[in-house]
Chain A
Amino acid sequence: MTKVTMTVNGKAVSKEVSGNTLMTEFLRDELHLTGTHVGCDTSQCGACVIHVDGKSVKACTMFAAEAEGASVATIEGMANADGSLSVIQQAFQDHHGLQCGFCTPGMVMTAAALLKENPKPSEHEVRDYLEGNICRCTGYHNIVKAILAASGQDVSGIAAE
């Protein structure tokens, strides 16, 4: 067992973990942050995307021990301080960018990383950036639309959601 210390959603966390504990297991089982989902076992689906030191990471691809000293953000930390939905979360609700909700945390975390890197992405850039996130419900239409809307772009010309 190794002791790891990190900040998760702004709170200091310190736990004993074994060397092979994945970040997904650490978040879900140790911290009970079950918003980070596991949809595959080959790092393809993106349901487990979190931010580590500001960069989007598939939490199934790293060990908890690798996050020593890091600042970690998960879906549970994405709302505004007063509990209201953040701009990206609100855009997903406004434009029906989710159905079953299982891929949604990963989509929101990926969208947040995209808009940080590229505040006004084109439709093509959004679709390209979502390459590592699979959604089976929405056909992506309203996810792409929500992300474009969250970036402040006019989406009224896109077919209605």
Chain B
Amino acid sequence: MPKDHGIGASQKRREDVRFLTGAGQYTDDINTYGQTYCVFLRSDVAHGTINSLDTSDAEAMPGVVRIFTGKDFEGIGGLPCGWQVTDKHGEPMKEPAHPVLAQGKVRHVGDPIAAVVAESLEEARNAAEAIVYDIAELPAVVDMKAALEAGAAKVHDDLSDNLCYDWQFGSDQAAIDEAFSSAAHVTTLELVNNRLVANPMEPRVALGEYNRANDESTLYTTSQNPHVIRLLMGAFVLGIPEHKLRVVAPDVGGGFGTKIFHYAEEAFVTFASRQINRPVKWTSTRSEAFMSDAHGRDHVTKIELALDADNNFIGLRTDTLANMGAYLSTFSSSVPTWLHGTLMAGNYKTPAIQVNVKAVFTNTVPVDAYRGAGRPEATFQLERLVDKAARELGVDPIALRRQNFIDSFPYATPVAVEYDTGDYTATMDKLEEMIDREGFAARRKESEAKGKLRGLGINCYIEACGIAPSNLVGQLGARAGLYDAATVRVNATGSISVMVGAHSHGQGHETAFPQVVAEMLGIDESMIDIVHGDSSKIPFGMGTYGSRSLAVCGSAMVRATEKIINKAKKIAGHLLEASDADIELKDGQFTVAGTDKSVAWGDVTLAAYVPHNYPLEDIEPGLEETAFYDPANFTYPSGAYACELELDPETGRVTIERFAAADDFGNVVNPMIVEGQVHGGLAQGIGQALLENCVYDENGQLLSASYMDYAMPRAEDVPFYMVDHSCATPCTHNPLGVKGCGEAGAIGSPPAVVNAVIDALHSGGYTHVEHIDMPVSPHRVWKAMQG
């Protein structure tokens, strides 16, 4: 009988009622008295010098309140990068200035040049069109290899070249050289991890409001982490002390990473609202989102695997070019390094691993974390490579993986992380059962009878989530701590508000988090509400990304609830005239162990706030506790994925027939929500593999800047998925034993799709096709088939 209460219950989401009735409150739904509207004039060239910028005609247009340009931001901080990477020579990465509005130069299409603030959106738009400016276009660098060539145009004049850093990590050179020189076989693969746009369905919005009476600013923004924005914008950009700055992220329509970062528009509306003493609102159009939201992925990699004569993996070496775009977005530098290099061991006990990454500036939109962030790039390279190795060696790709699985834990990899738990054989066993591998041959025959090719692609993945131990990431260059926080406020009559640093933008925290507290206290979930998204209401937390909400913030919530229980037991002990050590809490009732003497939850909470009969000499009145939780390690979700597809050799079109995902997320609080997270990740991974591609031309013009050009996965592009999370090895170092599930689907699925395409082509005799870069479009498949 499935649980209907507490941890492990698939409770229906309480937040759904407002979303299903149109009562959600997203940032664009908020309007304030005296509000003005902001429109940005953005560069339409990838690289150029602003020779002149004349706003005088525009300023005279109807409704214009004020027009701002780069001049207004002279002497004001630029947007900071939150992670300093040190290169292989011990030098800090190059960190060019990232102005709020362009200072003399534009460096990508979409770079903001000026901002019009007007009484209405239409008037702001009209005035933005009336700004007269002259930009002398300069040669743009788009391709990363070309950007690193001597004599290439420089994105930043004050830097020596376009190389942000040259990073090396992992085993020492001698160990790598030894592995490759002694190898019986070396498999090499060159591949591209295609540039993507996160595309949460809600475009970004920022509304700045200033209260001159108390010198307070409020920013309503579409953010995954309001406190991070408050810290970055307040301390590094605008110089507003934190107690005078409130950041609110209300209902947020999806994030997927791109709403982590601090953006120019947020700083602008906050700054401008103080200048004009009126609220300033900016709402992104989708076209604007394509050229101003940080993009994702965009790696070019050469990877090599050394195997001994028994097909054991003995060495792995990678060389990656990682696109940073024109400026360093908030966490951009950490993605190809510490979120990518540390994952290169995958599920395998390869003893020597070396990762090389060159990060490159180009005249494109900044690139930063997108669902998975570094981990999909690592998984894609490794799992495509292992598949290719199996094919070259003529061995079964699953058997080759099984043979090399890490099988004892904890396991310290050569790339600086220690996996606490996992059972890769169990998830692979489960996967083979789910996908019905035995029946594949018959299904292939059926496809062939229709003139189609059928392919089965499998792969494994490991990810590092629950980001992250602060002392560790501090050593690695993070400029922030990555703990989280929760305050459990018990009210006099026993209901509870839990204020959390995590932010829910689709993850269902409002439903799942109360399940944890309810389980611990033995009370009903309906007595518990979650408060999130408003820096004036919640403790200082770091927000939601890296599949961290439950593992980090949930752990803080557990610790705070434990403090509540300890105090409540003291109060109960006093009321029952017993020692608090003898008090047991079960089903919302405090009982003296071994007796029938008890008091109810509500009696204890009332006593805490009406302390007439209360141990005032020992404890304070009230029942409210805060805990900050800093994880001891990352968590390591893992799993095995399979994609089965049909390929039409006449057209190159690929149709996914079956997709199975066997995940180990450790313990699960709400299985329904967890499975929904996997479904969404799978669609994004399948989208990357088959459809999505962000394309620039050689001049840096963005060719895929709308849903007419950027192929988002739609309902008919994907199948019903088979998902399972029964092979659970609980995390050993957080109190819930949870690992995180938000990114797995997007990390694990792209290689399964591409492996299946290659499998299908080989079954049809197209054995010359070793790899096709994503997105594996009909055109690319057909071209590869022609040789």
Contact = CB atoms under 8 A, between A and B. Distances in A.
Contacts of B508: 99
Interface residues of B, number: 58
A94 B11 CA distance: 9
B296 to A, nearest CB: 13
Contact of B21 (A40, A76, A103, A127): A76
Given A100-B200, A127-B715, A134-B201, A139 B745 contact: yes
B129 interface: no
A34 interface: yes
A94 B17 CA distance: 11
Interface stretch (A51-59, A63-71, A140-148): A140-148
A126 B202 CA distance: 24
A141 B723 CA distance: 11
A104 B671 CA distance: 21
A138 interface: yes
A85 B19 CA distance: 11
A132 to B, nearest CB: 9
Given A101-B24, A136-B200, A159-B723, A96 B676 contact: yes
A89 B673 CA distance: 18
B13 interface: yes
B714 A42 contact: no
A161 interface: yes
A45 interface: yes
A141 B200 CA distance: 18
Interface stretch (B42-50, B55-63, B252-260, B469-477): B252-260
Interface string B268-299: 00000000000000000111000000000000
A130 interface: yes
A36 interface: yes
A159 B721 contact: yes
A137 B680 contact: yes
Contacts of A131: 714-716
Nearest to A134: B712
Interface in B706-730: 706-708, 712-716, 718, 720-723
Contacts, number: 191
B722 A159 contact: yes
A158 interface: yes
Contact of A99 (B22, B676, B708, B712): B676
B12 interface: yes
Contacts of B712: 134, 136
A134 to B, nearest CB: 5
Contacts of A93: 12-13, 16-17, 20
A46 B716 CA distance: 15
Contacts of B715: 126-128, 130-131, 133, 135, 140, 143-144
Nearest to A158: B720
A80 to B, nearest CB: 11
A41 interface: yes
A159 B19 CA distance: 24
Interface of B: 12-13, 15-26, 28-29, 199-203, 251-254, 256, 285-287, 505-508, 671-673, 675-676, 679-684, 706-708, 712-716, 718, 720-723, 745
10 contacts: A28-B29, A35-B24, A96-B13, A100-B252, A100-B253, A101-B24, A124-B716, A135-B201, A159-B721, A161-B676
Interface of A: 28, 33-42, 44-45, 47, 74-76, 78-79, 85, 89, 92-94, 96, 98-105, 108, 123-124, 126-128, 130-131, 133-145, 158-161
